[in-house]
Amino acid sequence: MKKIITVVLLATLLFNFLGCEFSRNESSSPNSDTSTISEIVSEISENTQPALQWPTDNEFVSILPPFNGGKIVEINQKTNSVLITIVNVERAAFEMYVTALKGYSFTDVAFENEDLYSAVKPDSEKEEGVTVRYYNDTSTMTIDVSIK
């Protein structure tokens, strides 16, 4: 009798598990519209968060030119760096900001392409560096500045 009850319980659990997997696979068909995580984050940020102000009183950000385009949605302060996320940024604004960074002596280039600029100030007492990325698919820009 115990064997029959055990087999029935195992069969019930197995059918429940398979039923859940089957319904999960049906709801996520390969042709359904899917979004990347960055698109979802960008959409949520654009629609739910109020715009933040450029952090003028921050020691890390004070070595940068201010950025006036787009909408600042995140300012993430760490021990020796700050990450700023800005949405609704046009590529032209990103390119102008890279030019402004070069004017602020961020000229010792570590890496540069059409979507990324990473450089340090070659003659600063501390190692002051900045990395600016542009995400074309979401019109988002991040600015990561550090002082070591």
* Centroid of chain to Cα 62: 22
Closest listed residue to residue 138, CA positions, set 82, 73, 57, 81: 73
Q: Which residues, at least 6 apart from 129, have a Cβ–Cβ distance to it below 8 Å?
A: 106, 110, 118, 119, 120, 121, 145, 146, 147, 148
- Assigned token pair, 64: 């940068």
- Which amino acid is it at 120? V
pLDDT at residue number 26: 45
* Model confidence pTM above 0.85: no
Q: How many angstroms separate the CA atoms of 137 and 148, rounded?
A: 32
Q: How many angstroms separate the CA atoms of 75 and 84, rounded?
A: 5
Pairing of the two strands 128-135 and 71-77: unpaired
- Residue that has been written with the tokens 């996320």 in this structure: 85
Tell me which of 63 and 15 has the higher pLDDT.
Answer: 63
**37-147 has which fold?**
TATA-Binding Protein (3.30.310)
Q: What is the per-residue pLDDT across 100-134, written as a single tens digit (0 to 9) for each?
A: 999 888 888 899 999 999 999 887 778 889 999 99
pLDDT at residue number 84: 93
Tell me which of 128 and 43 has the higher pLDDT.
Answer: 128
Q: Would you place residue 45 in the very low, low, confident or very high pLDDT band (cuts 50, 70, 90)? A: low
Distances (CA, A) of 90 to 71, 136, 142: 11, 9, 13
Determine if residue 124 is left, alpha or beta; phi over 0 gives left, psi from -120 to 50 gives alpha, anything else beta: beta
Q: How many CB atoms lie within 10 A of CB 4?
A: 8
Q: Would you place residue 89 in the very low, low, confident or very high pLDDT band (cuts 50, 70, 90)? A: very high
